[in-house]
Copies of this chain bind each other. A is one copy, B any other.
Amino acid sequence: MGIADDAVEIRARGWRTLAALHALIEAELERALAESVQLSVVEYTVLDALSRQDGWHMRMQQLARATALSPSATTRLVTRLEDRGLLTRILCADDRRGIYTELTPSGRELFERAHPIHDEALARVLAEAGGRPELAPVVHALQGSQVLAGA
């Protein structure tokens, strides 16, 4: 068991920690959002991404990147949200292959309602995770580094 093997184990352990934390947070957000606004986490991510592009449009591909989803999944995700009247497809004139998406007033309204719920759940689960010794360092780094980045 040499130094190289230690490095392997350290990486693997870090990855397991990351995966565990991710699963914990996602499960809690999923629960909270589904309960109060009938939204999944990815669906919320779409609304969030669109709302942050305030007044401006977003291509399907950008949406796929923001959600870490395949093109096909993105298509259906957008279709679901469109069917609920939360966003609209806008085919752009300059490149007729591309399709822009934009929040409807109803979509923006729902997002405004979902936003505090999302944050409350996130704050709660991060606090809980911060209490677990194996997760705490990552939780701290997550917030600490972002303090610097956000300042």
Contact = CB atoms under 8 A, between A and B. Distances in A.
A147 B13 CA distance: 10
B150 A145 contact: no
A76 interface: no
Task: Tell me what chain A mostly uses at the interface: helix, strand, loop, or mixed.
Answer: helix
Interface in A110-140: 118-119, 122-123, 126, 134, 137-138, 140
A93 interface: no
A4 to B, nearest CB: 10
Interface in A1-51: 6-15, 17-27, 48
Interface of A: 6-15, 17-27, 48, 68, 118-119, 122-123, 126, 134, 137-138, 140-147, 149-150
